[in-house]
């Protein structure tokens, strides 16, 4: 207790120092006067009385000092002293301070901006109760990789048999768009279909009204309610609370809006902002799926999320799941033969439909964090260099302080305080820059009606990261010069007269700049590789021609149409659209290349083709299209015929396959007339009627998967994209076609109205390349700037240090060009060694980014040579300026210098 009190008073003492000092002075003055008075009373003369008193009482200043020490916490007292002194020093050389703070700000800014992106994509937990306990399940069926689609009967079985490890298990169907009509106005809504305990599992409370109840969702067609997301409620209904209880309709089926989900909750993925939640059972009436989907074990479409019971580990859950999987495969060999179940943490990356890709974002994130860290290291090196130069200049000051009795630790501490102060200033500036950077990144246009959120807002993690980076920088940057400065031999320096000594420091500085050149070259090369792969990706042959094609997506079921009416509608629409002025051809397709969520895919049984032993039936993607699709997309047909109006519901099922599929299954044979079946639709074999050139379908990354096209009339899907090829610009077609659809049926919402070129700029299209290239290029340019500043700084400092020497050389008859060469040689050695180091570092780094490259090998010679040349040229220009200055040195002035 007493020590605490003492400490508290001492801390308080820190802040009342001035007053304390003057009080003590007054008190001691009284003391002195009283003593003098006593002495006078004893009969001394006035001056003798004073003299005796002063002798006896001792030094006032020492007393004050020991009183002060007693009075406050010495450590903090000195710290404050150091901070004050450091701030004075920084103010004294504003040029140095500004350059250092700006350099640091760039480094820390780049880091925080990228960290904010990584934080959002990978680190920030979903806003649910105890997110660490929430997992989602994966299922791997015989011969296939794990995915997240389960059937409802499997869900029920798993739920019953895992009660020992999961306190809740809930199902959710995702990636569906519906049409929500309120007061006759229909707009698309991205909804999740969930079982009743979904919200209880996540521990969420409604922002308004109620959420889906545990009793809802398990009966087909029952519980016609919808819960809106907060953002959707805000944007469509302006946050009007009276919307609760409103009668609305989803895809023409009457429902009631019963509540609003909490503001922070965007659904279970980190990117998509789900707008509505509907009881799972309603899918039977709202969506075009079999009404008995809740009973069919083969129908896998729902994802499962679960909450681990408190204290249950992932291993325990896995053990239970393995037992369940074994039981399921024994009980249901037709559908669940040899299935394997797994669990993955839902947080922080969110539910990934393809668990394999769950690794991609963290991987990319760590690559870019590494690159950003490289920029920070470059910035640190620059500042370390500045500090070394300053330390050399302040050597005499340090020596003087040491001579006056300052301990070495004390000097180091003071210099460290200065560098930390600088780092903190840089940190503040960097956070401001980083905010700007992440705001810019947040506003990248994604070109999709899918509500993607890129919310790179700053939270405590980012501030902690920035602060950590700053402190680390401060210590790293400060410790070397501080140790050097404090180690120096006092005697030597004070005796050395005016000339500052440099030799050792210079070597260290050159090494630092060499490393800097290397680091910056590495960044440049990586950036170059990414930029080149973006160019390659954009120039790659897609197999179709996206220019002058306009897309419009509609779903007549969202206006309450049934299949028959929708087919009629599509038919009329195609006829009318084809006759729009400027339209060369019009067609419908159920999927657009590189769209989110991908297209359809099926497993195939192919006549005359045996899959390699031990492998399952092969899979292929497909697109259901209307006649004239190949004409609209400019996909060339190599053999056979394309899909025609004569391919109807009642005629033979047909397919146009692509080259890849033809080569895979009928290598060296004529595929026309051959047959295959989709395993989930065995009663309708398809006959191959044509072979088309391979066109990129889902992802630009995996262009070699087999693909085929089927008539939309034979494989009807309610949602389709109208595609129009025009002679001129595509954009005006969008407006005309929207008007046309409105005039045919005003209640149908039209979305994704965009030219094909824009539609390709998606996350699985070009966007990732663009994003990666832009990020890497910014980092590369930052690195280049920092390296140039470093080279310039070191060369010009070295040149200025050698002014004296240069003066002598010139006086002895050296030619200015020789001086130029001399300075240049120094620069060349640094740059040359740096380039060598940079190329080696780049080779290592390029191997890591190899996964992000497209069509460019990690060892792409063009990139390496271009980047190196760019760096060398810029660095030599940086050398030229100080070299020219040195060349013009006037020997007379130089010899008098210092």
Partner 1 sequence: MAAKTEVQQGTLALMILKTLEVLGPQHGYGIARRIEQISGEQLMVNYGTLYPALLKLEQEGCVRAQWGASENNRKAKYYRLTPAGRKQIAREEKQWAQTNAILARFLAPEGERS
How many residues interact with partner 1 (rule CB under 8 A)? 28
How far apart CA 335 and CA 326 sit, in angstroms, is 13
Answer for which of 16, 22, 48, 56 binds partner 1 (CB under 8 A) is 56
Residue 333: its H or E element: helix 333-336
Answer for which of 14, 21, 24, 40 binds partner 1 (CB under 8 A) is 24
48 part of the interface to partner 1, by CB under 8 A: no
Cβ nearer to partner 1, comparing 5 with 495: 5
Is the separation of the CB atoms in 255 and 278 below 8 Å? yes
Find the shortest distance in angstroms from Cβ 47 to partner 1. 20
Given the rule CB under 8 A, which of 22-30, 137-145, 523-531, 662-670 is the region that contacts partner 1? 22-30
3-class state of residue 826 by DSSP: helix
Given the rule CB under 8 A, which of 50-58, 212-220, 240-248, 810-818 is the region that contacts partner 1? 50-58
Tell me the pairing of strands 654-658 and 686-692. Answer: parallel
38 part of the interface to partner 1, by CB under 8 A: yes
Of the candidates 160, 136, 134, 172, which has an alpha carbon nearest to the alpha carbon of residue 301?
172
Cβ nearer to partner 1, comparing 55 with 861: 55
492 part of the interface to partner 1, by CB under 8 A: no
How far apart CA 624 and CA 679 sit, in angstroms, is 17
How far apart CA 50 and CA 878 sit, in angstroms, is 70
35 part of the interface to partner 1, by CB under 8 A: yes
Q: Which two tokens stand for residue 4?
A: 């605490």
10 part of the interface to partner 1, by CB under 8 A: yes
Given the rule CB under 8 A, which of 4-12, 104-112, 304-312, 829-837 is the region that contacts partner 1? 4-12
How far apart CA 387 and CA 390 sit, in angstroms, is 5
Cβ nearer to partner 1, comparing 58 with 668: 58
Residues in 60-119 at the binding interface with partner 1, rule: CB under 8 A = 60, 62-63, 66-67, 70-71
Find the shortest distance in angstroms from Cβ 84 to partner 1. 24
Q: To 5 degrees, how large is the angle CA 100–CA 442–CA 127?
A: 105
Cβ nearer to partner 1, comparing 53 with 389: 53
37 part of the interface to partner 1, by CB under 8 A: yes
Find the shortest distance in angstroms from Cβ 35 to partner 1. 7
Residue 79: its H or E element: helix 74-92
Between 681 and 720, how does the x/- string for binding to partner 1 read (CB under 8 A)? ----------------------------------------
52 part of the interface to partner 1, by CB under 8 A: no
Of the candidates 674, 778, 659, 748, which has an alpha carbon nearest to the alpha carbon of residue 707?
659
Find the shortest distance in angstroms from Cβ 70 to partner 1. 5
DSSP sequence for 265-278: ---SBSSB---EEE
Residue 144: phi and psi, rounded to 5, are -125, 160
Answer for which of 43, 58, 498, 682 binds partner 1 (CB under 8 A) is 58
Cβ nearer to partner 1, comparing 60 with 747: 60
Find the shortest distance in angstroms from Cβ 80 to partner 1. 20
Find the shortest distance in angstroms from Cβ 82 to partner 1. 24
547 part of the interface to partner 1, by CB under 8 A: no
The DSSP bridge partners found for residue 272 are 452
Of the candidates 656, 623, 620, which has an alpha carbon nearest to the alpha carbon of residue 640?
656
Is the separation of the CB atoms in 430 and 111 below 8 Å? yes
Given the rule CB under 8 A, which of 25-33, 271-279, 301-309, 562-570 is the region that contacts partner 1? 25-33
Find the shortest distance in angstroms from Cβ 33 to partner 1. 6
Given the rule CB under 8 A, which of 28-36, 93-101, 504-512, 687-695 is the region that contacts partner 1? 28-36
6 part of the interface to partner 1, by CB under 8 A: yes
How far apart CA 192 and CA 202 sit, in angstroms, is 14
12-49 burial, b at 16+ Cβ within 10 Å, e below that, comes to: ebeeeeeebeeebeeeeeeebeebbeebeeeebeeeeb
Q: Which residues contact 822 (CB under 8 A, 6 or more apart)?
A: none
How far apart CA 325 and CA 736 sit, in angstroms, is 54
Find the shortest distance in angstroms from Cβ 50 to partner 1. 15
Cβ nearer to partner 1, comparing 44 with 763: 44
Of the candidates 104, 108, 167, which has an alpha carbon nearest to the alpha carbon of residue 133?
167
How far apart CA 267 and CA 175 sit, in angstroms, is 11
Q: How many CB atoms lie within 10 A of CB 806?
A: 24
Answer for which of 5, 42, 92, 667 binds partner 1 (CB under 8 A) is 5
Q: To 5 degrees, how large is the angle CA 717–CA 147–CA 621?
A: 40
Using CB under 8 A as the criterion, which residues of the chain lie in contact with partner 1 when the complex forms? 2, 5-6, 9-10, 23-24, 26-28, 30-31, 33-35, 37-38, 56-60, 62-63, 66-67, 70-71
């Amino acid at each position: 207790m007493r020590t605490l009190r003492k400490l508290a008073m001492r801390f308080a003492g820190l802040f009342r120092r001035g007053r304390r000092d003057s009080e003590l002075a007054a008190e001691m003055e009284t003391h002195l006067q009283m003593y003098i008075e006593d002495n006078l009373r004893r009969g001394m003369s006035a001056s003798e009385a004073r003299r005796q008193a002063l002798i006896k009482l001792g030094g006032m200043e020492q007393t004050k000092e020991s009183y002060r020490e007693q009075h406050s916490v010495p450590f903090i007292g000195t710290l404050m002293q150091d901070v004050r002194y450091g701030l004075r020093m920084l103010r004294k050389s504003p040029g140095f301070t500004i350059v250092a703070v700006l350099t640091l700000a760039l480094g820390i800014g780049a880091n925080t901006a990228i960290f904010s992106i990584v934080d959002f994509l990978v680190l920030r937990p979903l806003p649910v109760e105890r997110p660490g306990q929430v997992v989602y399940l994966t299922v791997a069926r015989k011969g296939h990789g794990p995915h997240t689609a389960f059937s409802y009967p499997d869900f029920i079985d798993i739920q019953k048999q895992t009660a020992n490890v999961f306190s809740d298990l809930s199902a959710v169907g995702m990636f569906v768009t519906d049409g929500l009509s309120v007061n006759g106005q229909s707009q698309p809504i991205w909804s999740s279909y969930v079982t009743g305990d979904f919200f209880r599992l996540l521990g969420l409370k409604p922002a308004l009204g109620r959420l889906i109840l545990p009793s809802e969702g398990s009966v087909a067609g029952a519980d016609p309610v919808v819960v809106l997301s907060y953002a959707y409620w805000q944007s469509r209904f302006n946050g009007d609370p009276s919307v609760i209880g409103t009668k609305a309709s989803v895809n023409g089926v009457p429902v009631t809006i019963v509540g609003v989900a909490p503001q922070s909750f965007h659904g279970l993925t980190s990117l998509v902002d789900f707008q509505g939640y509907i009881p799972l059972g309603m899918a039977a009436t709202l969506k075009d799926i079999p009404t008995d989907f809740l009973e069919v074990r083969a129908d896998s479409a729902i994802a499962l999320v679960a909450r681990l019971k408190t204290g249950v580990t992932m291993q325990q859950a896995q053990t239970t799941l393995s037992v369940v999987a074994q039981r399921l495969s024994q009980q249901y060999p037709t559908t669940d033969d040899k299935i394997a179940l797994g669990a993955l943490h839902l947080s922080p990356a969110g539910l990934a439909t393809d668990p394999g890709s769950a690794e991609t974002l963290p991987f990319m994130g760590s690559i870019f964090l590494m690159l950003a860290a490289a920029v920070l290291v470059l910035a640190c090196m620059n500042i370390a260099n500045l500090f070394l130069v300053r330390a050399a200049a302040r050597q005499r000051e340090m020596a003087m302080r040491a001579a006056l009795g300052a301990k070495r630790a004390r000097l180091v501490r003071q210099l460290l305080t200065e560098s930390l102060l600088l780092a903190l200033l840089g940190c503040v500036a960097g956070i401001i820059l980083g905010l700007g950077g992440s705001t810019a990144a947040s506003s990248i246009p994604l070109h999709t009606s899918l509500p993607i959120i890129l919310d790179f807002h700053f939270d405590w993690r980012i501030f902690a990261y920035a602060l950590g980076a700053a402190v680390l920088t401060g210590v790293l940057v400060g410790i070397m010069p501080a140790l050097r400065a404090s180690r120096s031999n006092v005697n030597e320096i004070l005796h050395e007269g005016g000339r500052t000594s440099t030799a050792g420091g210079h070597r260290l500085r050159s090494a630092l700049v060499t490393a800097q050149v290397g680091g910056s070259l590495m960044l440049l090369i990586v950036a170059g590789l990414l930029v080149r792969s973006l160019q390659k990706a954009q120039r790659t042959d897609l197999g179709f021609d996206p220019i002058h094609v306009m897309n419009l997506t509609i779903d007549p079921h969202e206006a309450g149409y049934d299949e028959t009416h929708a087919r009629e509608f599509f038919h009329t629409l195609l006829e009318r659209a084809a006759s729009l002025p400027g339209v060369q051809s019009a067609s419908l397709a159920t999927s657009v290349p590189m769209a989110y969520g991908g297209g359809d895919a099926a497993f195939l049984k192919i006549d005359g083709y045996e899959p390699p032993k031990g492998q399952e039936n092969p899979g292929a993607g497909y697109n259901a299209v209307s006649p004239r699709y190949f004409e609209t997309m400019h996909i060339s047909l190599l053999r056979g015929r394309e899909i025609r109006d004569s391919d109807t519901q009642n005629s033979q099922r047909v397919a146009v396959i692509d080259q890849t599929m033809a080569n895979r299954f009928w290598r060296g044979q004529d595929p026309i007339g051959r047959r295959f079946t989709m395993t989930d639709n065995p009663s309708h074999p398809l006959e191959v009627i044509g072979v088309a050139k391979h066109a990129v379908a889902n992802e630009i990354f995996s262009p070699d998967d087999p693909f085929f096209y089927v008539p939309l009339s034979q494989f009807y899907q309610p949602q389709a994209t109208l595609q129009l090829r025009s002679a001129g610009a595509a954009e005006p077609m969008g407006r005309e076609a929207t008007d046309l659809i409105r005039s045919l049926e005003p209640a149908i919402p039209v979305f994704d109205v965009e030219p094909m070129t824009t539609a390709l700029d998606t996350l699985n299209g070009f966007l990732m390349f663009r994003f990666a290239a832009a990020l890497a290029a910014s980092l590369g340019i930052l690195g280049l700037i920092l390296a140039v500043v470093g080279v310039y700084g070191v060369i010009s400092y070295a040149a200025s240090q050698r002014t004296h020497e240069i003066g002598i050389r010139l006086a002895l008859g050296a030619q200015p060009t020789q001086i130029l060469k001399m300075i240049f040689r120094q620069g060349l050695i640094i740059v040359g060694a740096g380039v060598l180091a940079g190329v080696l570092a780049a080779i290592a780094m390029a191997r890591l980014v190899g996964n992000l490259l497209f069509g460019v090998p990690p060892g792409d010679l063009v990139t390496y040579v271009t980047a190196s040349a760019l760096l060398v040229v810029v660095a030599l220009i940086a050398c030229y300026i100080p070299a020219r200055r040195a060349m013009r040195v006037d020997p007379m002035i130089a010899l008098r210098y210092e």
